[in-house]
Amino acid sequence: MKGITRLFLLILLVTFWVGRADAQTVADASKVYNEAIVKANASDPAGAIDLLKSCLDLCQQVGDAAADVKTKAENKLPEQYFNLGGQLAKANQTQKAIDTFKEAAKLAAQYKNQKVSDAVNDALSKLYTKTGYSSLKNKKVDEALDYINKAIQLNPNYGTARYIQCFAVRSKGDPVAFEKTADKGIEVCASSNDSRNLKSIQKLARDYFLQLGSKAISKNKYQEGVTLLQTSLKYDQSYKDTYYYLAVAQNGVKDYQSAAKSANRGLSLETGTPEKKAKYYFALGNALKGQGDKAGACAAYKNALYGPFKEGAKYAIEQELKCK
């Protein structure tokens, strides 16, 4: 009986000391966690990360008794990686910031922290876009597109990324690819009510195809010019200059009826001085002359006697049509 009693007392004593050891270890884990929170509140995420990792190591040693502390540390760790990534981004340590954000995303997924996951995706998409824009300014177009595509993969509705993507694709000199990219960007910005980037993409596309169209005209490639300028109008139907060049191109392919409509549309949009209206009247005169409308052409040419159109209009009035 004495032996059994001693054995029972020994078991109780061991259990008591193990319990004390566990309690002390849980207390240690809690202390380290609280120290991590102090670091976090002091905007020292790097210090907080080190302490949270130490806390999780202690919790692992303790086991189930430290479950509550472990859960709190797991929730806090991805958040601090996110904060550290933000600090690195502000310091222009771009690659370190990207790597840190990726670690935050990994931990957020592991610990099921959706709030941090969403925040990381937003931050990374903006950082990729910013980096892509820097690459584009340095004429590293392929590198820029790689970053921008990563941004869009993370956030397909990010209008700024779509806008910079249009810039990058435009630099490749492929009108078909650019039109496709611009159309998608406009669709995304419209659906997300991003009016600022929507208007920016529309203007970029309008000017791009207007420039290509005017160049085609200068090389007497009038049909190509018509196609490009009609594409420009798809992005802005109220831009008066487009109608002038379109009228010139349509006159070039002898589509005089369409040219007259384009010139008149440009005139309706031009509210400036007679000098500013001269080019539209000159294009209109050419269109009406092509249709055989002498009276209409004479009237149009008389309104075109300004600036660089004066000589051409005067010649048409005096020599070609012999207007009264």
| pLDDT value of position 42 | 94
The label of the residue with tokens 């001693």 reads: 6
pLDDT-flagged residues of the chain (< 70): 1-24
What letter represents residue 219's amino acid?
K
Cα separation, 107 vs 74, whole angstroms: 8
Cα separation, 105 vs 99, whole angstroms: 10
The two tokens of residue 261 are: 């409509």
In the chain, the N- to C-terminal Cα span, in Å, equals 141
| pLDDT value of position 16 | 39
Cα separation, 35 vs 82, whole angstroms: 19
| pLDDT value of position 25 | 83
> What contacts 253, CB < 8 A, 6 or more positions away?
222, 223, 226
Domains of the chain: 21-110 (no CATH), 113-237 (1.25.40.10), 239-324 (1.25.40.10)
The label of the residue with tokens 């000098």 reads: 275
| pLDDT value of position 69 | 95
Its pTM stands at: 0.84
| pLDDT value of position 10 | 39
